[in-house]
Chain A
Amino acid sequence: MRIEILGGRIIDPLTALDKQTGLYIHNRKIVAVGTAPDGFIADKRIDAQGQIVCPGFIDLSTRLREPGQTHKANIQSETRAAASAGFTSLSIPPDTNPVIDTPAVVELIKDKAEQCAYAHIYPVAALTQKLAGKELSAMYALKQAGCIAVSNGQAAIENLLVLRRAMEYAATHDLLFIYSPQEQALSNQGCAHEGEMASRYGLPGIPVAAETIALMQCIELIEQTGCRVHFQGLSSARSVDLIAKAKQLELPVSADVAMHQLHLTEQDMLPYDSHYHVLPPLRSEQDKNALIAAVRNNTINSICSDHQPHDIDAKLGAFPETEPGISSLETVLPLMLHLVKQGQLELAQGIAKLSSEPAHILGINTGSVAVGDIADICIFDPEKQWQINAESWQSSGRNTPYWKKSMLGKVTHTIQAGKIIYSH
């Protein structure tokens, strides 16, 4: 299959390319940028006039809900939603049911994803068996089976000795450890940021210290173990400071933030609207601003979707009893473009945070659109206005605080390994 993409503005953060020109794909790869190779006859021509052509997006945390929670969503529905939102690669946290702690589960997920043939799937292995925080998982076997990193999801590792040994063992096999820092005792079953709004609404609060203490403990163990750690889903200004210090010490750390944390704060929470129930919770305006600044100055390396589709029942109830999480893949691009419109972020940097940066963190050879690269490409119209509703929405989970809202910026084509997996 030969594809030519003509007239688009190609932005490739990795090679610092930003130019209106053509891009040519043959089989799985990009064969030319600029003028067509000699004798190139396209099977498919994409007119990208007025559109942006960039690397396909790579997400560091997408819950597909399969296996185990297919009443919420499944691999087919969510990888299709991902494709429609410009994502070509997804890394999958291990908290499926059964947990990703055996090669069999890895195979199951990969097989199913291959049948669906949308975005490429990178399963993340459980750090501990059943995510129980007690015994190490078979990390080597899981790596052989295709896991790209290890993580304990949002499950606690209460015993620091287990954490230390797990990090040592992950480092032994040169596995990246993806860690969502949250100290369980301090979180104390809270459901909102311990601050003004939680006090007003009488919601059990989660203090910032629940995140920073877990973060500090882990940073100390990085010094000791040499384990590479990616901190996932930061929510506070204090966390940003701690990451910046760890980077000054040249520790092998990276960090991401969920896109919604760059847009919403506790003040945005409509009273008891469970669509604002997320973990870590939406924090203060000051925290949000610090997170945006950290994305800009690269203390925070990348932005993830933290996609968590839910069934309707999961969000129907009194706020504290509802399940946390936002169905968020499809709002990532418009929310990134909103930051660009606000002048908070350069467009190329915003694209990098969704492509070359997560590729670098995972150590995968995508996230760029230069000649010779695998043709994972997202084409979007930055000025296209659309509304989030039942017709436009692809994910099985409609749990988004942006439901019925108008968004600016829509993906028109997604190409994964030279194959068009989405066009609109």
Chain B
Amino acid sequence: MHTIENLQLNSQGKLQHFLSIEGLDKSLLTEILDTAESFAYISEQQVKKFPLLRGKTIVNLFFENSTRTRATFELAATRLSADVLSMNIATSATSKGESLLDTIRNLEAMQVDMFVVRHSLSGAAHFIAQHAAPHISVINAGDGRHEHPTQAMLDMFTIRRAKQQFSGLRVAIVGDILHSRVARSQIHALSILGAEEVRVIAPKTLLPAEVESLGVSVYHNLAAGLKNIDVIIMLRLQKERMNSALLPSESEYFKCFGLSNDKLTIANKDAIVMHPGPINRGVEISSSVADGPQSVILQQVTNGIAVRMAVMSMVMRRKTGTE
């Protein structure tokens, strides 16, 4: 099978782009987590800025709106002392006329070093990495329903902090797997890092074809799927799913697949609850669970900065030579 491996790694096996979790190995993912851990540790000591990317220019290219992801990428870049330009292209150039490639060529001409790309089409970050000048690194901040690898890595970071290790862990991902780029990245990351089992729990309308081929077990019943689970990852349900005959209503969805206190008790006692945000309270998760003692949702947001600092510094390291 072909993978995206070669494009992401340089000839020394170092990260040069960060496009997908698929194609990376355990040691690389562990290196990201360890690097993030050191950034997180130092940040907690009140020193928030590092000179690692001084003089570098990073462009956040957001072809699709996202407040949280963009903000954490900006903060991460700023803390690494890079110059940051954030562009919201969702409503401008490419919606009419200008092609993806033209946008990239124009920005390249401004001598940038890195693109952080969010796009509504699967494969967009991959396409940009293929066509960008060789000195430019591309980080995928979410492409269509393909992958969102930095989100998955901050989730792994959060899980490791809570559970120390991945071996033996049983993880359930609940909700709209079909349209979720986060879920695909999480599934790959968990299997690479050695989790015992990954389950997906969803109605058939929200599961991709042959999802078992990704190495997960499939449940259509939340209660059954939560038994013996250590980590519960809830996915956001987009409102437009109701309009395309995928689901009847939010309330019926909550009854079947929403995480309430009752349902949470089925999982292991020390199970943690995660959500990539933003939360639809009362649709996929109840407020009492989201704000409850087992929730690590806000830690995920905090961890996002350290993880993105780690990834940015690693893809730039191959050029600056600073080990």
> Interface residues of B, CB < 8 Å — how many?
29
Choose from B2, B4, B143, B184 the contact partner of A318 (Cβ within 8 Å): B143
Whether A200 touches B122, Cβ cut-off 8 Å, given contacts A205-B208, A313-B99, A318-B100, is: no
- Cα distance, A200 to B184, chains bound together (Å): 8
Contacts of A271 in B (CB 8 A): 2-4, 123, 126
Contacts of A46 in B (CB 8 A): none
- Cα distance, A202 to B176, chains bound together (Å): 13
Best-surrounded residue of A196, A200, A267, A316 (most CB of chain B within 10 A): A200
A199 touches B123 (CB 8 A): no
Question: Is residue B181 within 8 Å, beta carbon to beta carbon, of the partner chain?
Answer: yes
Q: What 1/0 flags go to A263-302 for Cβ under 8 Å of B? A: 0000101111000000000000000000000000000000
- Secondary structure of the A contact surface, majority rule: loop
B121 touches A321 (CB 8 A): yes
> Interface residues of A, CB < 8 Å — how many?
24
Whether A272 touches B126, Cβ cut-off 8 Å, given contacts A196-B210, A198-B209, A199-B209, is: yes
- Cα distance, A205 to B144, chains bound together (Å): 13
Contacts of A270 in B (CB 8 A): 2
Question: Is residue B213 within 8 Å, beta carbon to beta carbon, of the partner chain?
Answer: yes
Choose from B99, B127, B145, B213 the contact partner of A272 (Cβ within 8 Å): B127
- Cα distance, A148 to B214, chains bound together (Å): 48
- Cα distance, A195 to B127, chains bound together (Å): 22
- Cα distance, A201 to B123, chains bound together (Å): 8
Contacts of A316 in B (CB 8 A): 99-101, 131
B119 touches A318 (CB 8 A): yes
Q: Which residue of B lies closest to A193 (CB)?
A: B209
Q: Which residue of A lies closest to B181 (CB)?
A: A202
- Cα distance, A316 to B126, chains bound together (Å): 12
Contacts of A204 in B (CB 8 A): 145
Q: Which residue of A lies closest to B184 (CB)?
A: A202
Looking at the assembled complex, report how far the CB atom of B40 sits from the nearest CB atom of chain A, in whole angstroms.
30
Q: What 1/0 flags go to B78-122 for Cβ under 8 Å of A? A: 000000000000000000000111000000000000000001011
- Cα distance, A319 to B121, chains bound together (Å): 8
Question: Is residue B170 within 8 Å, beta carbon to beta carbon, of the partner chain?
Answer: no
Contacts of B126 in A (CB 8 A): 271-272, 318
Contacts of B28 in A (CB 8 A): none
Contacts of A194 in B (CB 8 A): 209
Choose from A196, A203, A269 the contact partner of B122 (Cβ within 8 Å): A203
Interface of chain A residues 184 through 220 with chain B (CB within 8 A): 194-196, 198-205, 207
Question: Is residue B1 within 8 Å, beta carbon to beta carbon, of the partner chain?
Answer: yes
Looking at the assembled complex, report how far the CB atom of A269 sits from the nearest CB atom of chain B, in whole angstroms.
8
- Cα distance, A360 to B264, chains bound together (Å): 67
Q: Which residue of B lies closest to A319 (CB)?
A: B123
Question: Is residue A317 within 8 Å, beta carbon to beta carbon, of the partner chain?
Answer: yes
Contacts of B214 in A (CB 8 A): 199-200
Contacts of A207 in B (CB 8 A): 209
Looking at the assembled complex, report how far the CB atom of B175 sits from the nearest CB atom of chain A, in whole angstroms.
16
Contacts of B1 in A (CB 8 A): 267
Question: Is residue B22 within 8 Å, beta carbon to beta carbon, of the partner chain?
Answer: yes
Q: Which residue of A lies closest to B145 (CB)?
A: A202
Whether A195 touches B143, Cβ cut-off 8 Å, given contacts A271-B4, A320-B122, is: no
Q: Which residue of B lies closest to A198 (CB)?
A: B209
Looking at the assembled complex, report how far the CB atom of B222 sits from the nearest CB atom of chain A, in whole angstroms.
22
Choose from B99, B122, B210 the contact partner of A202 (Cβ within 8 Å): B122
A199 touches B208 (CB 8 A): yes
Q: Which residue of A lies closest to B123 (CB)?
A: A272
Choose from A200, A202, A269 the contact partner of B144 (Cβ within 8 Å): A202
A318 touches B213 (CB 8 A): no
Q: Which residue of A lies closest to B183 (CB)?
A: A202
Contacts of B121 in A (CB 8 A): 318-321
Looking at the assembled complex, report how far the CB atom of A266 sits from the nearest CB atom of chain B, in whole angstroms.
10
Best-surrounded residue of B22, B147, B209 (most CB of chain A within 10 A): B209
Question: Is residue B236 within 8 Å, beta carbon to beta carbon, of the partner chain?
Answer: no
- Cα distance, A320 to B123, chains bound together (Å): 8
Looking at the assembled complex, report how far the CB atom of B47 sits from the nearest CB atom of chain A, in whole angstroms.
39
Interface of chain B residues 1 through 26 with chain A (CB within 8 A): 1-4, 22
Looking at the assembled complex, report how far the CB atom of A190 sits from the nearest CB atom of chain B, in whole angstroms.
11
Q: What 1/0 flags go to B172-185 for Cβ under 8 Å of A? A: 00000000010010
Contacts of A267 in B (CB 8 A): 1
Contacts of A313 in B (CB 8 A): 99
Question: Is residue B211 within 8 Å, beta carbon to beta carbon, of the partner chain?
Answer: yes
Looking at the assembled complex, report how far the CB atom of B4 sits from the nearest CB atom of chain A, in whole angstroms.
5
Contacts of A203 in B (CB 8 A): 122-123, 144-146
If A196-B210, A271-B4 are given as contacts, then 7 extra A-B residue pairs at C-beta distance below 8 Å, sorted by A number, are A200-B213, A202-B145, A202-B146, A269-B2, A271-B2, A318-B127, A320-B122
6 closest residue pairs by CB, A with B: A202-B146, A272-B123, A199-B208, A202-B145, A318-B121, A318-B124
Residue pairs across A and B with Cβ atoms less than 8 A apart, 15 shown, are: A196-B209, A199-B209, A200-B214, A201-B123, A204-B145, A205-B208, A269-B2, A272-B122, A316-B100, A317-B127, A318-B119, A318-B126, A319-B121, A320-B122, A320-B123
